[in-house]
């Protein structure tokens, strides 16, 4: 979930920022595929034992859910987002997409009704990630799967940038422009995690961490992409963290 530099009047708050139709709401395909494969393994393949309910929270334009669907045959994938513009686009790609929030009224699902939750590139945008994981835990059945992905503060190139006194990639100091870091997109990130911090945070929220994998970042310059793919072998250095946890 990334956001480009906005034009016109500045956003009044984060809601205005993400409701802006000019803000991209799709993530990279490599991350979506890796995450979908992790979930397919966790569910045991196609829906031979009956369809499972998978909720994609922060589905954006539905690209990630549509990418994952062929790897999850027979299961029902429901997209959720707070942006009406994103939902209009998502409904052209996936059968089910509903409006919902992780704060306020909560998600429009009964407690224990979900078998799995996809939570992709969302947690870094939240003011209150603790309440978000509480709500995800509520809708998951006991033993249900959480597939969370987020940018890695300690990605291989960010380590070098910090040593040089440069603001890390993925971090942000303004919703209006880029300051002190490489890149051309305003991302609206409020929080960033290392592998260790992410695992501790999720475990403290009532989940058992099953595994952690790495994924490449589509924004890495083309000459450096082979190195970025190699870094995925060590999630602590990868661009994107893919975490699998189960509700306790």
Report the pLDDT value the prediction gives residue 12, as an integer from 0 to 100.
52
Three-state SS string over 68-137 comes to: HHHHCCCCEEEEEECCHHHHHHHCCCCCEEEECCCCCCCCCCCCCCEEEEEEECCHHHCCCHHHHHHHHH
Report the pLDDT value the prediction gives residue 229, as an integer from 0 to 100.
97
Report the pLDDT value the prediction gives residue 50, as an integer from 0 to 100.
77
Q: What kind and span of H or E run contains 142?
A: strand 140-151
Q: What is the pLDDT along the chain (248 residues), one digit of tens a residue?
A: 433 333 344 455 556 665 565 554 455 788 999 999 999 999 986 665 678 999 999 999 999 999 999 999 999 999 999 889 999 999 999 999 999 998 766 899 999 999 999 999 999 999 999 999 999 999 999 999 999 999 999 999 999 999 999 999 999 999 889 999 998 888 889 999 999 999 999 999 999 999 999 999 999 999 999 999 999 999 999 999 999 999 99
Asked if 1 and 60 count as a contact pair (C-beta separation under 8 A), the reply is yes
């Amino acid at each position: 979930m990334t956001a480009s530099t906005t034009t016109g009047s500045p956003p009044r708050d984060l809601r205005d920022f993400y409701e802006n139709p000019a803000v991209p709401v799709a993530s990279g395909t490599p991350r979506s595929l890796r995450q979908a494969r992790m979930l397919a393994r966790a569910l045991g393949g196609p829906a031979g034992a009956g369809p499972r309910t998978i909720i994609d929270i922060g589905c954006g334009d539905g690209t990630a859910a549509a990418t994952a669907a062929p790897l999850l045959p027979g299961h029902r994938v429901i997209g959720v987002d707070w942006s009406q513009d994103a939902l209009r686009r998502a409904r052209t790609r996936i059968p089910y997409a509903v409006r919902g929030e992780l704060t306020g009224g909560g998600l429009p699902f009964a407690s224990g009704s979900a078998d799995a939750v996809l939570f992709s590139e969302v947690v870094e945008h939240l003011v209150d990630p603790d309440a978000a994981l509480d709500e995800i835990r509520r809708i998951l059945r006991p033993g249900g799967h959480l597939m969370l992905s987020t940018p890695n503060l300690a990605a291989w190139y960010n380590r070098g940038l910090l040593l040089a006194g440069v603001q890390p990639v993925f971090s942000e100091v303004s919703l209006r422009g880029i300051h002190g870091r490489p890149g051309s997109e305003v991302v609206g990130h409020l929080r960033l995690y290392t592998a260790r911090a992410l695992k501790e945070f999720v475990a403290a929220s009532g989940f058992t961490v099953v595994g952690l994998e790495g994924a490449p970042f589509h924004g890495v310059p083309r000459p450096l992409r082979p190195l970025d793919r190699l870094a995925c072998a060590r999630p602590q250095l990868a661009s994107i963290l893919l975490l699998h946890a189960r509700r306790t």
